[in-house]
Amino acid sequence: MKIGVVVFPGSNCDHDCQHVFKDVLGQYVEMIWHKETLLAGMDAIVLPGGFSYGDYLRTGAIARFSPVMGAVKEFAKKGGMVLGICNGFQILLEAGLLPGVMLRNKSLHFICKDLSVKVENAATAFTGACQSGQVLKIPIAHADGNYYTDPVTLAAMQANAQIVLRYCTPEGKVTPEVNPNGSLDNIAGIINAEGNVLGMMPHPERCAEAVLGNDEGKLIFLSMLEALKGNKKELKMVGA
Amino acid sequence: MKAKIHVTLKQGILDPQGKAIEHALDSLGFKNAGNVRVGKYMEVDVNETDKAKADAAVKAMCEKLLANTIVEEYRYELQ
């Protein structure tokens, strides 16, 4: 598979994503500078974590106008698979590829630690290798992960199983106490109605090989590859 | 013309920075301070002499980039 990892000025998880896809999973990876306007031949696009444009104005607010984002929108519109991690998620929100917005963490702290997230929907192209309800230990590292959207949009996402990952206890209980940032409904990751664009705050690329002591994040990337190959258990794309 | 633009979180949206400052003011003895909201202030030179044109341009800037109207509101004055 050909995976494109977009590099914005200030991206800092781009090489981690490249490493996982290339060295851990043996895929072809192309680093795509934000000035590019074509994504020819790519099977999936990753918007990595970091601090694009220094998080000036709002997280993701300036990156969304990068030349490459026109191509990413076009790619997504045609059904192309797009994964946004952390700052990548924030950019997807600002670009309107996913609904809602990120507010400052309720505690105002930058939080960097391992957390448990529950796979609420294992029938997506990004979670197909997981079991429904499976708890993954994945680190977060952000100051703006307090997801917010209006009640109507939230209800629609809940009804449509678009809330894919939620913060939970290690046993899988979704409680307000384990919500690290004030995120609405403990949201850690959401997918669009068409099922081809996922944004998540936790960093699966930081825990995708055993040598790091945790490879649970690898399931996200494996799911994508399996979905791309189309040889997995029947994929029920949300909303399709 | 110069635009002086204020962007703040809408009422009803939790403003953690505002809350932190509110608590700090309270602990400093400013018992009459409440409902602190933190926002951004921006100045933009707009190369227009016609006020209506400048106004339309600044409004578009706010809607497109300077504010995220899902959670933020903006106001500005032109001089």
pLDDT in tens, A49-103: 999 999 999 999 999 999 999 999 999 999 999 999 999 999 999 999 999 999 9
The residue annotated as part of the active site, out of A120, A203, A207, A216, is A203
Mutate to test the interface with B, among A56, A58, A106, A149 (most CBs of B within 10 A): A58
> A107 CA to chain B: closest CA distance, Å?
7
Does A203 participate in catalysis according to the annotation? yes
**Within 10 Å of residue A115's Cβ, how many Cβ atoms?**
20
pLDDT of residue A230: 80
Looking at every residue in chain A, the average pLDDT score rounds to 94
The model's pLDDT over A25-35, given as tens digits with 9 standing for 90+, comes to 999 999 999 99
Q: Who contacts B54 (Cβ-Cβ below 8 Å, separation ≥6)?
A: B1, B3, B46, B48, B78
Are A85 and A133 spatial neighbours (Cβ–Cβ below 8 Å)? no
Residue matched to tokens 């708890």 = A135
**CATH no. for residue B26?**
3.30.1280.10
Give the C-alpha separation, A106 to A192, whole Å: 25
The span from the CA of A83 to the CA of A45, in Å, is: 6
Kindly provide the ipTM of the predicted complex, given to two decimals: 0.78
**Residue A239 predicted with pLDDT over 80:** no
Residue A218's pLDDT is 97
The Cα–Cα gap between A146 and A102 comes to 5
Selected catalytic residue, list A86, A130, A168, A207:
A86
* Number of separate domains in chain B: 1
Six-digit token string for A43: 């099977």
pTM attached to this predicted model = 0.90
Whether residues B65 and A103 touch (CB distance < 8 A) is answered with: no
Please say if the pLDDT value at position A233 is more than 60. Answer: no
Is residue A19 annotated as part of the catalytic site, yes or no? no
Count the Cβ atoms, other than its own, within 10 Å of residue A124: 25
B17 CB neighbours in chain A (<8 A) are: 104, 108
Q: Does position A175 have pLDDT exceeding 90, yes or no?
A: yes
User: Cα distance from B65 to chain A (closest Cα, Å)?
Assistant: 7
- Range(s) of the domain holding residue B15: 2-78
Searching chain B, which residue's CA lies closest to the CA of residue A63? B65
Q: Quick: pLDDT tens for A140-169.
A: 999 999 999 999 999 999 999 999 999 999
Is B16 close to A148, i.e. CB distance below 8 A?
no
pLDDT at A235 over 50: no
Please enumerate in sequence order all residues whose Cβ is within 8 A of that of B31, keeping only pairs 6 or more positions apart, or say none.
none
Q: Could you tell me the fold of the domain covering A2-229?
A: Rossmann fold (3.40.50)
pLDDT in the model for residue A231: 44
pLDDT at B41 over 70: yes
- Residue % of chain A over a pLDDT of 70: 96
